Amino acid sequence: MSSDLPTYVIIKHNNACGVASRNNPPDAWKDALACDPVSAFGGVIVTNTTVDEITAGEIDKIFFEIIIAPDFTESALDILKQRKNRIILLRKEFNKSLYGFRSLLNGVIWQQKDVSTETSQQMKPVTTRTPEPAEFEDLVFANIIVKHSKSNAIVIARNCQLYASGIGQTSRVDALKQAIEKARSFGFDTKGSVLASDAFFPFADSVEIAYKAGITAIVQPGGSVRDQESIDYCSSNGIAMVFTGIRHFKH
């Protein structure tokens, strides 16, 4: 959560099922929950802002396991501590390690962590139309979420709110279809939304599906030998697309 705005994230099985940044914490929580109130049940809540009494009262209306925040007001803690076995954690500043370890059947892999978080200045427009400022803001927001989602991953967002993710799919087309269907199932209109992909599109089929869903801007790393097909389709249909040059595959 790099936004300066109050942001709430709801995590389920290590994937974000709800994310929203708003001018005040209660609205951030309300819109994060609206992304997927079904999956939110029993999830982990993370925020970059102090949890206040009003927000705590709304959060307490659903069952959840863990809440992590930089601070809590006393009245918020009085509310959140009422349920047994709830874990309340205070997030402290820490130095991020540049390396990670993954276990194998007969050993361990030592590898560099993905520490890149791209800004709008690092997003290179490649289509005839360049994203509008509001689209750039949503592209950065969506790209942060897709980085932390299990690949193959697609994220659809608008107005700094997650609409839906397609995660852990065996094809990028399946991930996109999953995200569109899920967004619509919770009442979100995908027209005017943006899309983030954690890896390049090997064919133009994904951007065609995105266009038919009303998506107006796309961020992806680029790097496919057939990038031009996606670029040409987007340019011909008024979609703005930007490349980051960085793939975020989370496996």
Nearest to 3 by CA among 35, 49, 42: 49
Distance (Å, rounded) from C-alpha 243 to C-alpha 120? 10
Nearest to 207 by CA among 154, 137, 166, 159: 154
Q: What is the pLDDT of residues 22-67, one digit of tens each?
A: 999 999 999 999 999 999 999 999 999 999 999 999 999 999 989 9
Nearest to 56 by CA among 79, 88, 90, 36: 79
Q: Which two tokens stand for residue 7?
A: 């942001």
> What pLDDT was estimated at residue 1?
44
Q: What is the pLDDT of residues 62-94, one digit of tens each?
A: 999 899 999 999 999 999 999 888 999 999 888
Structural domains in the chain, CATH included, are 7-90 (3.40.140.20), 121-243 (3.40.140.20)
**35 contacts 18 by C-beta, under 8 angstroms:** yes
Strand, helix or coil at 202? coil
Strand, helix or coil at 20? strand
Q: What is the pLDDT of residues 113-153, one digit of tens each?
A: 888 889 999 999 999 999 999 999 999 999 999 999 999 99
Return the percentage of the chain with pLDDT > 90, whole number.
86
Distance (Å, rounded) from C-alpha 143 to C-alpha 105? 32
pTM of the model: 0.93
Distance (Å, rounded) from C-alpha 147 to C-alpha 167? 11
